[in-house]
Structure formats: C-alpha cells, structure tokens
Amino acid sequence: MTAAGFASQLLQLAIALALAPLLVGWVNQCRAWLQNKGAPSLLLPYRTIRKLFAKDAVVAEGASPIFRTMPYIVFGAMCCAAAIVPSLATDLPFARAADAIALVGLFALARIFMALAAMDIGTAFGSLGARREMFVGFLAEPALLMVLFTASLISGSTSLTTIVDTLAHRELAIYPSLAFAGVAFTMVSLAENARIPVDNPATHLELTMIHEAMILEYSARHLALIEWAAALKLFNYSCIGLALFFPIGIAAADDGWQATLGAAPLLVFKLAIGGALLALIETLSAKMRIFRAPEFLGTAFLLAVLGLLVNQLLGS
C-alpha cells in the first residue's frame, strides 16, 4: 500500500462523508420538482444533522447497551463500506482487506444491529420494523451479492477495485449479463435504501413504515448518526452502481493523484444524474403492499441469477 493509495483512500472517505447528505438533499429536491412541490433547501440534510447533534438525547426506558451502541456501529459499517467502494480511484488499500462479499457482510452487520436495536425497546412498532427490515433484507442481500458475482465473474475477481479496473480500463466489450444485473441492482437499491415502492421515507404513518419504524425511538445524536449512515448507504449504493455500470473515469492504480482529483467532479456529475433518476423512479411508482415486496425482490434476485447464468452460458 503506497502513500498515494493511502491518500486516495482517505480522500474518498472524506468525499463520501461530505457528499452523502448532499445526495439525499438532491434526490429530495428533484422529487419535489417532479411532483410540483416547493423544493426544500439542498442543504436541508446537513441542517437536520447539525440540529440533531445539538438536541438532548431521549432514551427509552429499558433500553440496553445494544440500543445505544447501534448508531455508532451502523455508522462505522457504512464508513468502512464507503472506503471499499471505488468511487474516485481503484487504488484503495482497504479494498484489499475486504472484497465485495465482505462489503455485503458489512451491510448485513448494519442491518442486523439495526433490527436488534429496534427489538430492544420492546414496542410493537420496533419489532414490526425489525421484522420487515430483515424480511426485505433476506431477499435484497443475496440479490445484491448475485449482481456483484456477475461482475466478478466477468472480471474474474471479487475485489471491487479489480472489477472496476477490468470494466473501466480494458477494451470495451458488451456484457449482456450486466443488463440483467443492472435492472436487478436498481430494484435492490430501491429496497435497501427504504425508497418507494418498497418503503416510503417520507411517511408518517407507523403502520406503513419499515426503516422509520425501526428508528422511531431514536433522537438527537443517535438519530443524527443514523440519518448520516442512511445517507452514506445511499451514497455507497450509488457508487456501487456507478462502479459496476458506468466505471468510466475512475482513476486506476497507476494514474497518480491528478487522475484521482480529476475523477471527483465526474463523480459528482454521475451522482447528480443517478439521484435524478432515483427521484424519477420514486415519482413514477406507487408504494406497494409489504407482501408484494417479496415478489419485487424475488424478481430482482432471479434476474441477478439469470444474469449469472447468461454470463456462464455466453462464456462472458
């Protein structure tokens, strides 16, 4: 691991932490535009986080340490994920320590702790949210992994950096399997980021909540961290998508730091488009009943597997 690599690693992490709330803000703004509403400020998420950090924390009675540590763990997991996914450069020392499978593992870690913490208080909503979250997760997680596998079968590697290197910096080839993977990935990331049609981040009716129901008891700094982590999650997923399907412009190991810096604006641009697309999808589709979710995610899973099969069949 070179010093340059280390630098790009830190830079990328910093950018992820910084840009994540902005991405959320951007998506909300686009959605507001699409739905002819007055758009909130682009910086609203930052304000929310600052405000929450200033507040007094309210902790529910009978909360165990799991409840209090959860936000930190989730946040930490998301940071690690952000450090793995190559958004600017592929020269990431930490990515050698944890590959795509480990990335999914990190997401699982976050999910499990969220669910446990939600059950910790012992309210109906907490456990309901936890159940639904795990329910969504048990289909979304394998689907995501399958998507990643498709890519790694193409590139013959499970480490994201290598995948990106292969996809971005070798001769351009058309991978039909990636088409399946792309669709599947979109569906998964909608579900995983608590977006319509699976969940509704803006709802205020507990019965329809998934993600919100789990964090119902949180406040102040804990909530702030969770919101931030959620933003990071969205950011990570977007970056994964970009890395797999639009890897152009991500600096390779030997490009040096200029390329890395040069990749930054490109990333912002790609994210802006991605966010807009997300908002569009959310606007166009309606939230589905919770038990339609398995069909939705099952389809995603099957598409991903299909991608894998196609890849095997056509010998990539």
Partner 1 sequence: MIPTPLQLVIAAIAAWLAIGALGLLRPRDLRFVSRLLFPAGAAVALGLAAIAAYAVGRLPQSSVLPLGLPDLPFHLRIDSLSAFFLVLLGATSTAISLFSSGYFRSSEGTAPGLVAMQYHVFLAAMALVLIADDAYVFMVAWEAMALASYFLVTTEHRLPEIRRAGLLYLVIAHVGAIAILLAFGVLQGGSGDYTFGSMRSVILPGAWSSIAFFLALTGFGAKAGILPLHVWLPEAHPAAPSPVSALMSGAMLKMAIYGLLRVAFDLLNGQLWWWGVIALTLGLVTALFGIVFAAAQSDMKRLLAYSSIENIGIIVAGIGLVILFKSYGKALLAGITLTAVLYHALNHAFYKSLLFLATGSVLHATKERSLGKLGGLIHRMPWVAWLALVGTLAIAGIPPLNGFVSEWLLLQAFLFTPSLPQTFVNMLVPIAAAALVLTAALTAYVMVKFYGVVFLGRPRESNLAYAKDAGRYERVALGLLAVGCVLLGALPVNVIAFIDPINVMLIGSSAAPRMAGSWLFLAPIDADRSSYSAPIVLVVIVGVVLLTMTIVHRLYHGRVRIAPPWDCGFPLQTPRMQDTAEGFGQPIRQVFEPFFRMQRELPTPFDSAPRYSVRVDDHWWYWIYVPIIRGAERIARAAGRIQQGRISVYLTYSFCTLLALLFFVR
Q: Tokens in use for 112?
A: 């499990």
Q: Which two tokens stand for residue 172?
A: 């351009």
Query: Residue 154 or residue 267: which is nearer to partner 1 going by CB?
Result: 154
Residue 96 touching partner 1 (CB under 8 A): yes
- Tokens 């959320």 belong to 24
Three-state SS for 89? strand
Handedness of CA 69, 75, 78, 80 (dihedral sign): negative
> Is residue 153 within the footprint of partner 1 (CB under 8 A)?
yes
Q: Which is nearer to partner 1, 157 or 283 (CB)?
A: 157
- Choose the binding region for partner 1 from 23-31, 107-115, 190-198, 279-287 (rule: CB under 8 A): 107-115
Shortest CB 36 distance to partner 1, Å: 31
When the beta carbons of 95 and 194 are compared against partner 1, the nearer one is 95
Contacts with partner 1 by CB under 8 A: the residue count is 81
Tokens 């807009």 correspond to 276
Q: At its nearest, how many Å lie between partner 1 and the CB of residue 219? A: 9
Give the orientation angle of helix 160-169 with respect to helix 124-155, to 10 degrees.
50
CA R_g for the chain: 19
d(CA 52, CA 185): 32
Stretch that binds partner 1, among 109-117, 255-263, 264-272, 276-284 (CB under 8 A): 109-117
Q: Which stretch binds partner 1 (CB under 8 A): 34-42, 91-99, 187-195, 271-279?
A: 91-99
Could you say which residues in the range 155-174 bind partner 1, by CB under 8 A? Answer: 156-159, 161-162
DSSP designation for 38: P
Q: Tokens representing 89?
A: 């450069």
The yes or no reply on residue 119 touching partner 1 (CB under 8 A) is yes
Site for partner 1 in 259-298 (CB under 8 A): 291, 294
128 contributes a contact to partner 1 by CB under 8 A? yes
Per-residue binding letters, 190-219, with partner 1 (x by CB under 8 A): ----------------x---------xx--
Pick one of 10, 14, 18, 124: the residue that binds partner 1 (CB under 8 A). Answer: 124
Among 18, 40, 41, 122, binds partner 1 (CB under 8 A): 122
Verify cis geometry, omega within 30 degrees of 0, for the bond prior to 45: no
Are 5 and 93 a contacting pair, CB within 8 Å? yes
- What is the rounded distance in angstroms from the CA atom of residue 287 to the CA atom of residue 276? 19
Q: Which residue has the tokens 């890849």?
A: 311
- Angstrom distances, CA of residue 70 to CA of 37, 61, 98, 189: 35, 16, 22, 22
Choose which of 12, 15, 86, 141 interacts with partner 1 (CB under 8 A).
141
Note whether 233 binds partner 1 by CB under 8 A: no
Determine which residue in the list 39, 116, 276, 281 makes contact with partner 1, applying CB under 8 A: 116
CB 154 within 8 A of CB 228: no
Window 31-90: residues binding partner 1 (CB under 8 A): 53, 56-62, 64, 66, 69, 72-73, 75-77, 79-80, 83
Amino acid at 200: N
